[in-house]
Copies of this chain bind each other. A is one copy, B any other.
Amino acid sequence: MRISESELEVMKLLWEKSPADLPELIERTKQRRDWDESTIKTLLRRLVGKGAIRRTGERRSYQYTPAISFREYRVDLLRHVAKSFFGSNLVEMFCFFVREEKLSAEELGELEAILKKGSENHD
């Protein structure tokens, strides 16, 4: 189930806060994109069609909720990237990142701390 760029914008609104109804989504969209209301309606409809969001409640006041969580989505996305561009090798992807992104000393420190905490959960 592929979610397009524009559709993602709507998903993000819902991930930030849901359920939400149309007026609310229209309102919150205005803060970031200059879309006509129709556009939002179309995107909602397509997302419901794709099964990416669920619609509940009564006609005229439907509530929209994401059907996949932000967490899931991000996990899948990173896995896809890892698979598609790093031969599924997560470590390689990390290395690449550290190497290319020239993280600051603080950032590197933070990461080390994270890793340390991570290892504690193992033997």
Question: Which residues of A line the B interface, CB within 8 A?
Answer: 8, 71, 73-75, 77-78, 81, 84-86, 90-91, 93-101, 103-105, 107-112, 114-116, 118-119, 122-123
Which residues in B have their C-beta under 8 angstroms from that of A116?
112
Q: Is the CB of B123 within 8 A of A103?
A: no
Q: Is the CB of B118 within 8 A of A91?
A: no
Least CB distance from A97 to B in Å reads: 6
Which residues in B have their C-beta under 8 angstroms from that of A77?
81, 85
Question: How many copies are assembled?
Answer: 2
Please judge, given known A-B contacts A100-B71, A108-B122, A122-B108, whether A114 and B94 are in contact too, CB under 8 Å.
Answer: yes
SS class, residues of chain A in contact with chain B: helix
Least CB distance from A4 to B in Å reads: 12
Q: Is the CB of A123 within 8 A of B105?
A: yes
Which residues in B have their C-beta under 8 angstroms from that of A122?
104-105, 108
Give the residue name and chain of the B residue nearest to A104 (CB).
B122
Which of A86, A104, A111 has the largest number of chain B CB atoms within 10 A?
A111
Which residues in B have their C-beta under 8 angstroms from that of A78?
81, 93, 96-97, 100-101
Please judge, given known A-B contacts A112-B116, A115-B111, A122-B105, whether A90 and B94 are in contact too, CB under 8 Å.
Answer: no
